[in-house]
Structure 1
Amino acid sequence: MLVGVPKEIKNHEYRIGLTPAGVRELVQHGHQVMIESDGGTAIGLTNEMYQAAGAEIIATAQEIFSRADMIVKVKEPQPQECKMLRDGQTLFTYLHLAPDPQQTQLLVESGATCIAYETVTDKNGGLPLLAPMSEVAGRMSIQAGAHCLEKAQGGSGILIGGVPGVEPANITVIGGGVVGLNAARVAMGMGGNVTILDRSLSRLKQIDELFEGRIKTLFSTTEVLEQQLKDADMVVGAVLIPGAAAPKLVTREMLGLMKQGSVLVDVAIDQGGCFETSRATTHQDPTYVVDGITHYCVANMPGGVARTSTFALTNATLPYVLALADKGPKQALFDDKHLLEGLNVHHGLVTCEAVASALGYQFVAAESALAGSDLQVSA
């Protein structure tokens, strides 16, 4: 199979879909790999390193999209990239379609087979290709929020850990999943007073046991959330419904409960955000203020630590890339029910129920969509 990796074009996005080590694995399996020139240069992965691993360096994304059987990316394709996709081609990347009707429409029109990292599952019910970036984003959320709390950044002027004789910051994390757990771990390590809200009692019990009571756990209700907002200096939104738009848990009216200069960090922004006042921002212009509350809603947070993120992500995605290339996408999807969960769009059909429901498309089960296609079984 001919695998193509274009350079990411989203604002301040320096990650890349394959490392040289990943290229070498694909080449050893008998596949060809094209890397767009300087695709990884910003994080120290040079053209020469990719060539040494067996890749062909390509000058333009247009050539990669026109030639490749499978496109491997990191972030969701931008409109100009969607328009270069073609019928029968496979796209493997993050998609986050539920809050993005334009991208969904363009992918449906392309006829391509579009597999989303964020909805691939594992035997334990986890999301193995989302987890590495959730770990990074969770840890970064506290780092970013701490900066926003500085007075010069418009914050309230609070140091997360305080100092002897001065109270630390109160940090509320909404959601006890991978993002929330990693946010809480870093916040606690920095000396903050940390509370996690979740609706799973078993998860709250796990967190309580893991941190031996050093992090407060509360069952999430509207009343509990409102009380937390009154006391919080920083709130991290870490709620995820796989494939679906994030629920709006904090309304604009609720901002009136918060202290002026407090910070909201919305890690769920890729799925539309879990605060009513959230809108996607970039690393170039990461924050804005609503009713005296600073909002940090960068849609590609892990891109800020692009080298770490690239290696963490590609460690997880490479086995799936190899399976798709070795078997061909149709056979790979049929052979692995967990990879099949990642199929969001195929040959003009929406095969992710959460996306179809959110955007008003007819849902077609992935098995049915594949059975009715003539996508190659083997490459």
Structure 2
Amino acid sequence: LMFGNISGVPPIEVVIVGAGTVGEFAARSALGLGANVKVFDNSLTKLRNIQTNLKQTIYTSTLQPKNLLKSLKRCDVAIGAVRGSDRSPIVVSSTMVEHMKKGSVIIDVSIDMGGCFETSELTTHDKPTREKFGVIHYGVPNIPARYPRTSSVSISNIFTPYLLKIGEDGGLENSLRFDRGLRNGLYMYHGILTNKSVGEWFDLKYSDINFLIF
């Protein structure tokens, strides 16, 4: 099936689970290609924001299993973009996937945090898809790496201001004291694990960074 709003041809149906940044840009891309888009999330604030940012009214719903299953049965593409504080919550069960159309596609962008589709498995760029219940699953954890030049420039644009600010602050130690966002992104500090999720996943001792920085 081809994306594209062609006269006389029914548009592709896309279901997006998660109305955060990934969900918003997935919706923006799908709408730009002429697809019908439905977005699910339990945060009414995120659902309102995505409609405001897209500057148009689209189908939105909280994660009610009955409504979600109905939409999944009809969709051609399902995109999972749900994050959690630890592992991504499993929103779409194996039974729901069984009811999807044969040949439909699941793209689980949350796979790097475990995935929000129960049937998702890690795949690679060398072999990006697997098939379960007749549904094609795409579970590559680092999708932008498919376009290394673009992703390198993009991530440089994000990191460069941080690096310049660290220099202006007099080094990393000072930046960590005053920049809460940078501090929350820290995994190791002087050889001490500071990330709770990694510690719990691998049963390693970890310490709160706020107790280590004075």
Do they superpose with TM above 0.5?
yes
Match 1:186 to one of 16, 19, 29: 29
The residue type equivalent to 1:203 in the other structure is K
The residue type equivalent to 1:319 in the other structure is P
Q: Which residue of 2 aligns with 1:307?
A: 149
Deviations 1:148-190 (A, max 9, x none): xxxxxxxxxx222252212111100011111000000010010
Please list, as runs of the form range in 1=range in 2, the aligned pairs for 1:121-140 lying within 5 A after superposition. Answer: none
Match 1:236 to one of 38, 59, 79: 79
Q: Which residue of 2 aligns with 1:207?
A: 50
**1:329 Cα offset (Å):** 2.5
Contact 2:17/2:39 (<8 A) preserved: yes
Q: Which residue of 2 aligns with 1:273?
A: 115
Contact 2:111/2:121 (<8 A) preserved: yes
Structure 2: distance between partners of 1:285 and 1:296: 9
**1:212 Cα offset (Å):** 4.5
Match 2:136 to one of 294, 309, 316: 294
**1:355 Cα offset (Å):** 3.3
Contact 1:349/1:369 (<8 A) preserved: no
Contact 1:208/1:216 (<8 A) preserved: no
Contact 2:14/2:30 (<8 A) preserved: yes
Aligned length: 213
Structure 1: distance between partners of 2:134 and 2:33: 25
Match 1:252 to one of 83, 86, 94: 94
CA pair 210-338 structure 1, distance change in 2 beyond 3 A:
closer
Q: Which residue of 2 aligns with 1:354?
A: 197
Q: Which residue of 2 aligns with 1:174?
A: 17
**1:331 Cα offset (Å):** 2.2
For the pair shown, the structure with the greater C-alpha radius of gyration is 1
**1:246 Cα offset (Å):** 1.1
1:338 equivalent in alignment to 2:181: yes
Structure 2: distance between partners of 1:189 and 1:265: 18
The residue type equivalent to 1:301 in the other structure is I
**1:213 Cα offset (Å):** 4.0
Structure 2: distance between partners of 1:189 and 1:168: 12
**1:215 Cα offset (Å):** 2.1
Structure 2: distance between partners of 1:216 and 1:340: 37
TM-score (norm 2): 0.90
**1:332 Cα offset (Å):** 2.0
Contact 1:245/1:358 (<8 A) preserved: no
CA RMSD, aligned part only? 2.0
Identity percentage over the alignment? 36
The residue type equivalent to 1:339 in the other structure is L
Runs of 4+ deviating beyond 6 Å: none
Please list, as runs of the form range in 1=range in 2, the aligned pairs for 1:133-152 lying within 5 A after superposition. Answer: none
**1:334 Cα offset (Å):** 1.1
Contact 1:286/1:297 (<8 A) preserved: yes
**1:288 Cα offset (Å):** 1.0
**1:363 Cα offset (Å):** 4.1
Highest RCO, 1 vs 2 (Cα 8 Å, sep ≥ 6): 1
Q: Which residue of 2 aligns with 1:283?
A: 125
Secondary structure class of the residue paired with 1:343? coil
Structure 2: distance between partners of 1:212 and 1:368: 44
**1:315 Cα offset (Å):** 1.0
TM-score (norm 1): 0.52
Contact 2:5/2:33 (<8 A) preserved: no
Please list, as runs of the form range in 1=range in 2, the aligned pairs for 1:46-195 lying within 5 A after superposition. Answer: 158-161=1-4, 163-195=6-38
